[in-house]
Structure 1
């Protein structure tokens, strides 16, 4: 076996080992900056500069346009390790990487437009995200119609409205958004470049994930030319391809990565902390061993299912639509396990875990945010129930 491959059983070859090692190097630097960004809710521009220099921002781009063309498994592997340094940075860049992967697989844009985007990502480190959330509609996955409006203009569209939870807003060069087409029931999709008429209002001041830059974005008669219009009235119907769902595994990868970092901190503490009342490391105490075992059970279970689903999604493209419940379950298991792992880690460390001089309280706040990323737990549970009922009904016919 190559000396590049570490003991982590989820790393299967030299390419994956190199991808993981790069993420771990970046994470080590990010961990040093994370407390300041969390305290000040400031955007980690230096982290993104480091990722640009390391080639991280091109991880999921196609090889033909200068990218690494990472598989879903490789993106999960990399993102989980990046999140061990700073969850906010990992979650934020995950939306960029996920959208690029989705565009690479489904190619819903004119090739000229996609090629131009790839060129700017490779050459300049340009970032992209999708801004579809609005306060009035809630999560786009719930199906609410956007209040942002698109009005026909000469050679394009004028877009006006407000988008919320706009992660990466301080740094993105491009973003896609949805807008209701004036005078019709159609919801259009547009590619917008940062520029005149686009304003970032710094509204993001939250319990956790404080450095993702998920502010409100205001648009005032922003002109989008026809060549940057992805879908609008009069265009052929837009088909949602099954490839799109898998890229959301960057979300559970992030939260289980944070949990892994919290577990590692608690283990180091348990091995090093020797209260004078017992004269030995607390790791030797039965109740501490039990708490460590509970953390391991949660972590191994969630990681194993996450990597299993990612690998199956890569290897069986014809099954991707049928895998949607498993994709949702991977997120549900990872985010809820992450909360329980951090809870146990804080119990092991004790009262000191509440101190902002240690990372556990930040990690605990960060993993709570996972409950509010898509897909939501209730939607996943319903999806699993409906599939089980359908399968049983078919069996009884």
Structure 2
């Protein structure tokens, strides 16, 4: 069952490939290992060049189409989809900027088409300013390059990325500190990937900590210098729009799969006290499945509409950010609710370490921690409707 049953016939991920990816997900989770086989097959299918224009060797997809692909992939392997998101965020940002006349990240789209894997190395422990501040130090070099010193957490795709996007604070001019964005290559000296990813859920993402100890971004890969603090630069919109929409897609996929598992469990389980009749005849079970279905049905329309608006260069003005963070919160919280209802329908078998639904329960918890978190999202929305605190 799917809210878009016809999409499987047009998806670049065939039903057969999707099933192979689903069959590997439990093993990656159990062994806390990276999804190398998934990545290889997705690359062969063109998944990493979806955003790249056809004239540059890509598939020429917009955000709406990529969002639909990510929902579908997440029904099979949420951790694979979440990690791939980080590559898609950068290529999506490059596409968003290009659509608006800014080709500063055109090289990202070209290199993605050539097989490079991009990762997102911006997250920092204790940085609640997110993109408007940084604990990482960016030291300017005489040749226009920058050297970076700091720790980046949740660096998904750690075993496989070939290009890592990072940013840091250049305070060499205290009166005008700058946030400097750039990319390092895998063979750049001056960084270390820690072997510290052993988590409750989303284990296959292998989102290890990256320690920057002088890693140098060449001048031609420094693509933005922005004043510290809030910024209206299109890069900030591009990152927020692609990150929040694609993140919502992954959790929408989790909810969809949980609902499917709940339906299967209700039809499979039988009741001794009701003469062996299936639980799908029980009014309480039917209520829970219906609640989950009603909740799940409400997410995809806004998800696809916002993605479509990004593609169409819609002008929501100051309402863009409230809409984006609202989507992220709704999608992640909704997925938790649907998974919880599915667990109640499925019974104690979901406690088994081999249970797919039990794995979804662990994976969905990660939605609490992605930006924008609940506090930040509510602050954004409150400011939009009430204005800043006086």
Bin of the TM-score, shorter chain as denominator length? 0.7 to 0.9
- Partners of 1:388 and 1:137 in 2: CA distance: 25
SS of the equivalent of 1:211 reads helix
Q: How big is the shift at 1:156?
A: 2.4
Any idea what the Cα deviations from partners look like across 1:344-366, whole Å, max 9, x if unmatched? 11111111111112111110111
Structure 1 residue aligned with 2:303: 306
Q: Could you tell me which of 18, 22, 30 is aligned with 1:27?
A: 18
Any idea what the Cα deviations from partners look like across 1:324-345, whole Å, max 9, x if unmatched? 2122211111111110111111
Alignment of 1:58-207 (within 5 A): 58-107=49-98, 111=103, 114-123=105-114, 125-137=115-127, 140-141=130-131, 143-154=132-143, 156-181=145-170, 183-184=172-173, 185-195=177-187, 196-207=189-200
SS of the equivalent of 1:76 reads helix
The question of 1:354 aligning with 2:351 is answered: yes
SS of the equivalent of 2:347 reads helix
- Higher mean alpha-carbon deviation, 238-247 vs 338-347, is at 238-247
TM-score, length of structure 1 as denominator length: 0.86
In structure 1, stretches of 5+ residues that fail to align are 1-6, 391-397
Structure 1 residue aligned with 2:222: 229
Q: State whether residues 302 and 327 of structure 2, in contact with CA within 8 Å, keep that contact through their aligned partners in structure 1.
A: yes
In structure 2, stretches of 5+ residues that fail to align are none
Q: State whether residues 27 and 83 of structure 1, in contact with CA within 8 Å, keep that contact through their aligned partners in structure 2.
A: no
- Partners of 1:383 and 1:115 in 2: CA distance: 31
Q: How many residues align?
A: 376
Any idea what the Cα deviations from partners look like across 1:233-266, whole Å, max 9, x if unmatched? 99xxx86214443212010110110121111112
Across the aligned residues of Structure 1 and Structure 2, the Cα RMSD in angstroms comes to: 2.7
- Partners of 1:372 and 1:268 in 2: CA distance: 30
- Partners of 1:96 and 1:102 in 2: CA distance: 10
Q: How big is the shift at 1:220?
A: 2.7
Structure 1 residue aligned with 2:37: 46
Structure 2 residue aligned with 1:3: none
TM-score, length of structure 2 as denominator length: 0.87
- Partners of 1:294 and 1:101 in 2: CA distance: 34
SS of the equivalent of 1:179 reads strand
Q: Could you tell me which of 265, 273, 283 is aligned with 2:269?
A: 273
Any idea what the Cα deviations from partners look like across 1:22-56, whole Å, max 9, x if unmatched? 26544322211111211222111111001011111
Task: Detail structure 1 runs of 4+ shifted over 4 Å in the superposition.
Answer: 7-12, 16-19, 107-111, 113-116
